[in-house]
A = this chain, B = another copy of it.
């Protein structure tokens, strides 16, 4: 058995470490969606997590695991998405500084959100090398610990805690379908889910316009995501050095859906389930509504994760 960035024991420790800080989110069901999917669906509502996204689990686990001496120097990341907000709040809850590197082109509302959680924002040029250099400089200057958004063992273990909770609530799931961006969430779910129940089948879900994991699985080797183009803006990145091996070995297949399918699924969830889920958060749900997925046999009960609910309410998506 190969070893990965973390194992089931790490996820169980993470669950203890973050208990009482992170919400135990509800699992919702919908008869309408069951009918459309042709099977029973169980939705883990991480859109109702603090910060509005599952990212708060991994960030909290990483921040709580630091020694007091390490923690006192703070944490650093470069992100303009949900991980930045999650790390800022996780740091504030521990009473330590969070240095967040964001591209100067990031929307003002995202900067304000991070600052609202107490994050100290440093703007940089909008390219990966500038972000990495700025983060490295902050680490050097402050002695803070870099907490990357997904390719980091404690983050992966933290994300897996949601799968543990879902399997406690619905122990007889046949499969889970999980969104893939950098792969931190699906790697954590593989390790936790298959750790608890080795027969659990894990499928990935990607937008057609950022389908690097699907192409990597098909090719049998890691392929980076270049020039992503999708409404699902949380799923733009390539999988990582730590997450790809888990996806390669533990994920049965990665399904893709179009942005139109994502939009219509999003509207369906808002209308029928009364839950605000962001485009990136409904990609798995869009997958289970496709003919391709519906044709799979032996899947009576399928788990999904509404991974986040952070959308602008200044526009309609349909």
Looking at A185-193, A198-206, A271-279, the stretch in contact with chain B turns out to be A271-279
Shortest CB–CB separation between residue A259 and chain B, in angstroms? Answer: 18
Which of chain B's residues have a CB closer than 8 A to the CB of A28?
48
Say whether A313 faces chain B, with CB atoms less than 8 Å apart: yes
Residue in A50, A267, A271 whose Cβ sees the most chain B Cβ within 10 Å: A271
- Docked-complex contact A274 and B275, CB < 8 angstroms: yes
**A227 in the interface (beta carbon within 8 A):** no
Chain B residues with CB below 8 A from A48, complex form: 28, 273-274
Oligomeric state, in copies: 2
Give Cα distance in the complex from A270 to B310, angstroms. 10
Interface string of A270-300 (1 = CB under 8 A from B): 1101111100000000000000000000000
In the complex, are the beta carbons of A274 and B271 less than 8 A apart?
no
A52 to B271, CA, bound (A): 9
Distance between A172 CB and nearest chain B CB, rounded to angstroms: 19
- A–B complex contacts, Cβ < 8 Å, 23 sampled: A26-B26, A28-B48, A31-B50, A47-B274, A48-B273, A48-B274, A52-B274, A267-B313, A270-B276, A270-B313, A271-B313, A274-B275, A274-B276, A274-B277, A274-B309, A275-B275, A275-B276, A276-B276, A313-B316, A313-B318, A314-B316, A315-B316, A316-B316
